[in-house]
């Protein structure tokens, strides 16, 4: 007898509206009322689907990072260092369109770095990314493709940081396509030579 609503879809609708409002004025300058208005709902209704404003921002980030995470998981295990390096290169070689999102992301969610909840969400993503790399590195070490004396978890995590730096700079500072290509090519080459156990073969 009661009225029925697709809660998942409703949450998505609200998140979309929130993202629109946030993009316009920034998170902290946007009130919950603003979001409600953009969603065509009353403020109280939002609280039926989210516990707080912060829960909304967190959910938006979740959504974004969940997509990223799926992308990572798709990465095949790989039996060669070169394959691994190629994966790194491809990860940093994001399309210009997607890279401009980072600027918006920081513009919109920069203020959210005040929140511990928000920060640990993002931190969790990079920890998982680092762990993923560590796993692959360990595997390649077992195969003799990577020098064994490296501490895989540390390398994996710092690799995630470094790659984030490269991708971030590309997006934030609008580094041109050609220049970016050269940068990531050199970076991958240096990292490869650093990880490879044998002296680099001649080109």
Task: Enumerate binding residues for DNA (CB under 7 A).
Answer: 1-5, 7, 10, 29-33, 40-45, 47-48, 52-54
26 interacts with a second copy by CB under 8 A: yes
Kindly state the smallest distance separating residue 61's Cβ from DNA, in Å. 16
Please state, in angstroms and rounded to a whole number, the distance separating the CA atoms of residues 29 and 17.
15
Kindly state the smallest distance separating residue 10's Cβ from a second copy, in Å. 27
What tokens appear for 15 in the block?
A: 């998140």
Crossing angle of the two packed helices 81-92 and 177-195, in degrees rounded to 10: 150
Q: Is the CB of residue 155 less than 8 Å from the CB of residue 129? A: no
**Going residue by residue from 90 to 129, which x/- string records binding to a second copy, judged by CB under 8 A?**
-------------x--xxxxxxxxxx---xx-xx--x---
Q: Is the CB of residue 161 less than 8 Å from the CB of residue 126? A: yes
Q: Is the CB of residue 49 less than 8 Å from the CB of residue 7? A: yes
Kindly state the smallest distance separating residue 16's Cβ from DNA, in Å. 15
Considering the complex, state which of residue 49 and residue 125 has its C-beta at the smaller distance from DNA. 49
What tokens appear for 110 in the block?
A: 């920069």
User: Which one among 117, 151, 176, 177 touches a second copy, defined by CB under 8 A?
Assistant: 151
User: Which one among 13, 20, 138, 147 touches a second copy, defined by CB under 8 A?
Assistant: 147
Kindly state the smallest distance separating residue 28's Cβ from DNA, in Å. 7
List the single partner that 73 binds among a second copy, DNA, none, CB under 5 to 8 Å by kind: none
Virtual torsion, Cα 167, 171, 174, 176, nearest 10 deg: 40
């Amino acid at each position: 007898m009661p009225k029925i609503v697709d809660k998942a879809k409703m949450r998505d609708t609200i998140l979309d509206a929130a993202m629109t409002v946030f993009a316009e004025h920034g998170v902290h300058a946007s009130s919950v009322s603003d979001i409600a208005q953009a969603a065509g709902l009353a403020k109280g209704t939002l609280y039926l689907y989210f516990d707080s404003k912060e829960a909304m921002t967190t959910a938006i980030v979740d959504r974004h990072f969940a997509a990223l995470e799926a992308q990572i998981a798709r990465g095949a295990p790989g039996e060669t260092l070169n394959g691994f390096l190629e994966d790194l290169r491809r990860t940093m070689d994001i399309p210009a369109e997607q890279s401009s999102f980072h600027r918006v992301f920081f513009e919109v969610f920069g203020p959210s770095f005040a929140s511990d909840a928000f920060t640990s969400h993002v931190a969790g993503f990079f920890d998982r990314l680092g762990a993923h790399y560590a796993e692959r590195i360990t595997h390649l070490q077992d195969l003799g493709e990577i020098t064994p004396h490296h501490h895989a978890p540390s390398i994996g995590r710092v690799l995630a940081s470094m790659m984030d730096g490269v991708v971030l700079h590309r997006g934030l500072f609008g580094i041109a396509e050609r220049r970016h290509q050269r940068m990531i090519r050199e970076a991958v080459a240096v990292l490869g030579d650093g990880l490879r156990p044998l002296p680099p073969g001649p080109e």
